[in-house]
């Protein structure tokens, strides 16, 4: 790790990277070194026999993987396969994990830290929420893996995810997720997993919040009357909410999981 740090500094000077990029790289390297105790565990065990490597990764990762709500009801065999394929990553404060519209090529499971989700709505409004430890992002990729007929094009991220503080996470790449869902498809199409995915998905929560607010506004208008002066004063917000609801209700998130 010390040699890597030195080589990184030398490379950045040779390539004449601007100072703000150098600072971001060095800050990441320091945080990564502190989190991993000065060793890159992935490289240390990659050349070990499959059985030894799998058991080591299970010992290191299983308790943390089980903290992810999406995995609570999966079999031990599937959890072993997930442990064997995930890799640890560190994200510095202010770093963007995904940007809205970018192709999603991995699922990220938050172990420590906090990530803010922001999604653009019409007229410059933003829908925001926060992912805590145990949460995950990139659920569009899981839906993509289960879609039939299968398409090669990666799904687009529905929001921008920014680290509020230094965040430790596990990452599952798209090709590994495809392999796991194909081998254990019967586990990933059950109703309990669908409900868990929806409950903890930040996109589903945003969609549900807008729909509930829209229904509540309609209820108040119906029970109190449209002539109510408060309702008249809130006419602009009512129209905006109708627009938001129309956008979210026109295409439900991950509709093929119905």
**Residue 256 pLDDT grade (very low, low, confident, very high; cuts 50, 70, 90):** very low
CB-based burial label for 144 (10 Å; 0-12, 13-18, 19+): buried
Based on the fold, state whether residues 71 and 198 are members of the same structural domain: yes
State the alpha helices, DSSP H only, in 2-138.
2-15, 19-36, 41-45, 50-65, 76-85
Residue-number span of the structural domain to which 176 is assigned: 47-203
What is the pLDDT, as a whole number, of residue 257? 43
How far apart are alpha carbons 184 and 241 in whole angstroms? 41
State the pTM of this model.
0.69
Q: How many domains does the chain contain in total? A: 3
pLDDT tens digit sequence for 45-60: 777 888 888 888 888 7
Residue 91 CA to residue 28 CA, distance in Å, equals 7
What is the structure's pLDDT at 171? 92
At residue 244's C-alpha, the angle toward residues 151 and 96, to 5°, is 60
List the 136-137 sheet strands across, edge first. 87-91, 167-173, 106-112, 136-137
Band (123; pLDDT cuts 50, 70, 90): low
* Rounded Cα gap, residues 129 and 14, in angstroms: 41
Percent of the chain with pLDDT over 70: 80
117 and 179 share a domain? yes
- Whether 241 and 138 map to the same domain: the answer is no
Shared-domain flag, residues 55 and 168: yes
The two three-digit tokens of residue 222, written as one number: 């119906």
| pLDDT, tens digit, 9 for 90 and up, residues 188-217 | 777 777 777 777 776 677 777 777 777 787
Instruction: Please determine, for residue 258, whether its predicted confidence score (pLDDT) is greater than 70.
Output: no
Q: Cβ distance 163 to 141 under 8 Å?
A: no
Of 217, 216, 203, the closest CA to residue 247 belongs to 203
Gap between the Cα atoms of 228 and 222, Å rounded:
11
> For the residues 142-168, what does the mean pLDDT come to?
86
Same domain, 54 and 180: yes
Same domain, yes or no: 190 and 96: yes
pLDDT digits (tens, 9 = 90+) for 38-95: 566 667 777 788 888 888 888 878 887 777 777 877 888 888 898 888 888 888 888 9
Instruction: State whether 186 and 237 are in the same domain.
Output: no
């Amino acid at each position: 790790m010390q040699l890597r740090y030195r080589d990184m500094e030398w490379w950045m000077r040779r390539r004449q990277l601007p100072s703000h990029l150098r600072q971001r790289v060095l800050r990441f390297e320091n945080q990564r070194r502190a989190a991993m105790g000065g060793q890159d565990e992935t490289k240390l065990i990659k050349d070990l026999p499959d059985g030894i490597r799998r058991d080591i990764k299970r010992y290191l990762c299983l308790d943390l993987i089980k903290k992810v709500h999406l995995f609570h009801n999966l079999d031990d065999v599937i959890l072993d396969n997930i442990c064997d394929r995930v890799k640890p990553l560190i994200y510095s404060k202010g770093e963007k994990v995904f940007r809205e519209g970018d192709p999603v090529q991995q699922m990220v499971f938050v172990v420590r830290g906090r990530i803010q989700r922001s999604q653009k709505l019409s007229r410059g409004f933003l829908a925001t929420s926060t992912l805590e430890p145990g949460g995950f992002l990139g659920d569009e990729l899981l839906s993509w893996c289960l879609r039939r007929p299968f398409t090669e094009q990666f799904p687009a991220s529905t929001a921008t995810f920014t680290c509020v503080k230094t965040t430790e996470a596990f990452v599952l790449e798209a090709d590994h997720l495809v392999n796991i869902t194909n081998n254990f498809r019967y586990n990933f199409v059950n109703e309990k997993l669908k409900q868990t995915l929806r409950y903890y998905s930040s996109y589903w929560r945003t969609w549900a919040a807008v729909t509930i607010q829209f229904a509540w506004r309609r209820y108040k208008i119906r029970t109190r009357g449209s002539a109510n002066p408060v309702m008249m004063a809130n006419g602009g917000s009512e129209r905006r909410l109708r627009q938001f609801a129309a956008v979210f209700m026109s295409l439900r998130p991950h509709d093929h999981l119905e």
